Amino acid sequence: MIQISNLVKVYDTGDRALQGVSLTVPRGQVVALIGPSGAGKSTLLRCINRLVTPSSGSITLDSVDLTTLNKKQLRQARTKMGMIFQEYALVEHITVLENVLSGRLGSMRMIPSLLRRYPGGLVEQALKLLREVGLEDQFEKRADALSGGQRQRVGIARALMQEPRLLLVDEPTASLDPKTARIIMRLIINACRERNLPAIINLHDVQLARHFSDRILGLEKGRLVFDGEPGELNDEI
Ligand code: ADP
Ligand code: ADP
């Protein structure tokens, strides 16, 4: 599980993006983070994966305090955080299978030798994940030949390839049509359910948050202003 305590982020520009955020997400819980643009949603995710350094407060993942790690420990901790992005962040000129493998290997340079040396193992695992997201017959295609929805399926498989302890998901459907958006949300939710994986999902779409989360957190001006089940959310939010 992930525990965040009194998290504050003030950027060098003076922007007070997070003003004391505390929350705990237990294993298996899917949390939707909603709020207007500039509320601090991206900053919160970036503090967890440490693309942004928090100003104060603590973040612990499975009882490891992420705010006190050295570089090497941080790299290790990051391998346990699966990230899914709005614009997919695939490597365009390599195949679907290679993109999924990069979730485990990181460096693209490793992949050709891996494919030679370990024909089974990781490759099999990657293909199994592609089956889970409905893309197994596309594994040899280059990423740049895929539609948006297919790209996000690859993004999900790549994150799961990390065997993560936490999923961090930033506006996964903002570039997709409404129908595809729901399919993608369903895939993410099912993946979390199956693995008892906690997830924090930034969503600007409140309807999606209502349908596809266990819990909704509302962020406004860097503070939590709502924390409850989807059914408790007022219509006007
Ligand atoms: P959201 O994801 O909810 O739209 P952000 O976390 O992107 O919110 O932004 C929260 C606040 O922090 C905003 O006022 C934004 O302008 C500011 N901010 C975000 N990133 C940076 C940055 N790299 N440098 C300075 N200010 C930033
Ligand atoms: P999103 O809507 O996805 O949160 P934003 O448009 O807020 O994205 O931010 C895009 C990029 O610009 C991010 O890297 C963010 O950190 C940075 N950024 C946002 N606000 C500011 C700001 N006031 N000053 C500097 N960088 C910012």
DSSP structural state of residue 165 = S
| CA-derived radius of gyration, the chain | 18
For the segment 68-91, the average pLDDT, to the nearest whole number, is 92
What pLDDT score was predicted for residue 151?
Answer: 97
Cα 43 to ligand 2 centroid, rounded to whole Å: 9
In the chain, what percentage of residues exceed pLDDT 90?
Answer: 82
Pocket probe for ligand 2: among 9, 10, 18, 42, the residue whose CB has the most ligand atoms within 8 Å is: 42
pLDDT band for 104, please (50, 70, 90 cuts).
Answer: confident
Rounded Cα distance between 37 and 48, Å, is 19
Record the tokens describing residue 152, joined without a space.
Answer: 């996000």
**Predicted-complex ipTM score:** 0.73
For the segment 195-207, the average pLDDT, to the nearest whole number, is 95
pLDDT band for 107, please (50, 70, 90 cuts).
Answer: low
What pLDDT score was predicted for residue 235?
Answer: 61
Residue 13 Cβ contacting ligand 1 at under 6 Å: yes
pLDDT band for 121, please (50, 70, 90 cuts).
Answer: confident
How crowded is residue 47: how many other Cβ atoms within 10 Å of its Cβ? 25
In the chain, what percentage of residues exceed pLDDT 70?
Answer: 93
> Residue 222: CB partners within 8 Å, gap ≥ 6?
9, 16, 17, 18, 19, 20, 21, 39, 40, 43
pLDDT band for 174, please (50, 70, 90 cuts).
Answer: very high
Cα 237 to ligand 1 centroid, rounded to whole Å: 21
For the segment 61-65, the average pLDDT, to the nearest whole number, is 91
For the CA of 14, the nearest ligand: 1
Helix (H, G, I), strand (E, B) or coil at 127: helix
Beta-bridge mates of residue 175? none
Record the tokens describing residue 32, joined without a space.
Answer: 């939707």
Cα 11 to ligand 1 centroid, rounded to whole Å: 8
pLDDT digits (tens, 9 = 90+) for 176-194: 999 999 999 999 999 999 9
pTM score, whole prediction: 0.88
